Amino acid sequence: MTAFLIGNFMLNGIVGILLYLLVMKKKKIFADRYGMVVAMCGSGVLSLHLAMLTVFLIPDYFIIQVLFTLGIGAFIGKKFGSLMKYQSLLSGLFHGIIGGIMGMMLGIVILNPSLCGLPSASLDSLQDNVLIFTNFGTVLVIMTGSLLYYSLKV
């Protein structure tokens, strides 16, 4: 299970790096509004999923989870937001940090559903839920990256 999560983390990191490099290569052809959209979408979705995977990989250390997810979200938001002007930098940073916090909260609730008043899950259904949400997040990151890449062509 841990190898699957680490592989998934690396796959999503590679998708994020490739998306950043593609957008950076063509940043001269789009305006400020498009730069903000790229900063919001790219940093929000990518940091949400990477933060959720971080919670699954480091389940017992809350302070490390918080610092790592905030760092991931801020780094991704800063990188995507720095493609254009300062308003897109602020937007990317904000959405990256918020995506990291939301991903951390989602991961914690998936691991312990009783936090939200949901019935407690057995260990088998817990691992099933981790697999389902991990695969769904990966599909979401790939689809968002594909849509942003497609929007560069239009």
Q: Are the CB atoms for 46 and 16 separated by under 8 Å?
A: yes
**What pLDDT score was predicted for residue 55?**
92
Output the six-digit token pair for 152: 């560069």
Burial of 120 (0-12, 13-18, 19+ CB in 10 A): exposed
Q: pLDDT per residue over 18-30, tens digit each?
A: 999 988 887 777 7
- 69 and 51 in contact (C-beta within 8 Å)? yes
Q: How confident is the model at residue 15 (pLDDT cuts 50, 70, 90)?
A: very high
The mean pLDDT of 137-144, rounded to a whole number, is 93
Q: Are 149 and 141 in contact (CB under 8 A)?
A: no
**CA atoms of 22 and 19, how far apart (whole Å):** 5
pLDDT for 74-116, tens place per residue? Answer: 999 999 888 887 888 888 899 999 999 999 999 998 888 888 7
Nearest to 9 by CA among 113, 97, 144, 141: 141
